[in-house]
């Protein structure tokens, strides 16, 4: 169907909408937005609003991009970048449930689900195929890798590597085997990831060093396994990790 803008919706002049979009009653799409094809915006969502940043100059030319096929439910807020020429980005085929929030300068990958009330602070990155449970919150500048399962009400203040499950406060609770199987990855790839996980988390020590050593060993040719290990070389924060006993002396790395 052609793009439809329902009565009482507000699409500001300058907003760019792709084909077959639907903007429902009461929704607001600001002039700072570029929406891909088939994006659906439900009632009372605010898409491309000003960032919640006290020093922000509203004259700053910045924006928000939303990929094709993404669904934005009721009362979702997506803020534009604080940087001149910068973009907040939400990928394709995402599902942003009611009252979730994506702050300025976040980069959210493709096929990401934010359940009700998820809060992403500024500059958070989220990898493809990741699911964040209801009420989960991520601190600014956190990186959340691809294929991660985040439990409801989790509090993330550290980087979360790809393909794991995380709950509570930065606690890795296992390998997201179910998510990988749903994506149809070959058994050999899953087997390599099963080996890479304990190479990093199965021994005491600095996580960055453990991951670098495993990567240098050359025993993980699968791209997914390498992405898991390479994740630990980046970022500015420490990493979410499994709960350890009080006697473990480990470097948070």
253: annotated active-site residue: no
**d(Cα 75, Cα 171) in Å, to the nearest integer?**
29
pLDDT reported for residue 133: 98
Mean of pLDDT values over 32-54 = 98
Q: Stretch 54-66: mean pLDDT, rounded?
A: 97
Q: What is the spatial distance between Cα 24 and Cα 13, in angstroms, rounded to a whole number? A: 17
Which is the catalytic residue, given 32, 42, 91, 105? Answer: 105
The pLDDT, as a whole number, for residue 130 is 98
Report, as an integer, the average pLDDT of 177-204.
Answer: 90
Whether pLDDT at 237 is above 70: yes
pLDDT tens digits along 156-183: 999 999 999 999 999 999 989 889 888 8
How would residue 1 be classed by pLDDT, with cut points 50, 70 and 90? Answer: confident
Task: In whole angstroms, give the CA distance from residue 253 to residue 240.
Answer: 10
**Domains of the chain in sequence order:** 4-141 (2.160.10.10)
Confidence of residue 249 (pLDDT cuts 50, 70, 90): very low
Task: Taking the CA atoms of 213, 215, 218 and 222 in sequence, report the sign of the dihedral they define.
Answer: positive
The active-site residue out of 69, 109, 122, 145 is: 122
Average per-residue pLDDT for the chain:
94
pTM of the shown model = 0.94
What token pair was written down for 158?
């550290």
Give per-residue pLDDT as tens, 83-116: 999 999 999 999 999 999 999 999 999 999 999 9
Please answer whether residues 83 and 63 qualify as being in contact, where contact means their C-beta atoms are separated by less than 8 angstroms.
no
Alpha helices in 183-222, H assignment, sequence order: 187-201, 207-216
- What mean pLDDT comes out for the span 51-74? 98
Look at residue 34 and tell me whether its pLDDT is greater than 60: yes
Radius of gyration of the chain (CA): 19
Asked whether the beta carbons of 163 and 224 are under 8 A apart, the reply is: yes
pLDDT in tens, 116-160: 999 999 999 999 999 999 999 999 999 999 999 999 999 999 999
The β-bridge partners of 17 are: 35
Quote the CA–CA distance of 34 and 27 in Å, as a whole number.
Answer: 15
User: What is the arithmetic mean of pLDDT over 51-79?
Assistant: 98
Ranges assigned E (strand) in 63-221: 63-66, 71-72, 77-79, 87-90, 95-96, 101-102, 107-108, 113-114, 119-120, 125-126, 131-132, 137-138, 143-144, 149-150, 155-156, 164-167, 171-175
Which residue among the candidates 75, 104, 123, 129 is catalytic per the annotation? 104
Flag whether pLDDT at 226 surpasses 70.
Answer: yes
Active-site residue flag, 122: yes
Distance CA 198, CA 157 (A): 22
pLDDT of amino acid 253: 56
In which band, very low, low, confident or very high, does the pLDDT at 246 lie, cut at 50, 70 and 90? Answer: very low
């Amino acid at each position: 169907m052609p793009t439809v803008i329902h009565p009482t919706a507000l699409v500001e002049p300058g907003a760019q909408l792709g084909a077959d979009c639907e903007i429902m009653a009461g929704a607001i799409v600001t002039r700072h937005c570029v929406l891909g094809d088939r994006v659906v915006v439900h009632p009372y969502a605010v898409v491309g609003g000003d960032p919640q940043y006290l020093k922000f100059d509203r004259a700053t030319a910045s924006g928000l991009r939303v990929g094709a096929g993404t669904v934005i439910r009721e009362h979702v807020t997506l803020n534009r970048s604080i940087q001149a020429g910068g973009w907040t980005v939400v990928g394709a085929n995402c599902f942003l449930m009611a009252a979730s929030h994506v702050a300025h300068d976040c980069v959210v990958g493709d096929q990401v689900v934010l359940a009700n009330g998820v809060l992403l602070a500024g500059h958070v990155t989220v990898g493809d195929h990741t699911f964040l449970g209801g009420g989960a919150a991520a601190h600014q500048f956190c990186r959340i890798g691809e294929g991660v399962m985040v439990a409801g009400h989790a509090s993330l203040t550290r980087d979360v590597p790809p393909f794991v499950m995380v709950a509570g406060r930065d606690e890795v609770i296992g390998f997201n085997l179910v998510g990988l199987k749903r994506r149809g990855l070959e058994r050999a790839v899953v087997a390599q990831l099963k080996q890479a996980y304990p190479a990093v988390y199965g021994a005491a020590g600095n996580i960055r060093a453990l991951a670098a050593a495993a990567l240098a060993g050359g025993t993980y040719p699968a791209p997914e396994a390498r992405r898991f290990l390479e994740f630990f070389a980046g970022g500015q924060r420490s990493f979410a990790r499994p709960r350890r006993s009080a006697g473990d002396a480990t470097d948070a790395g």
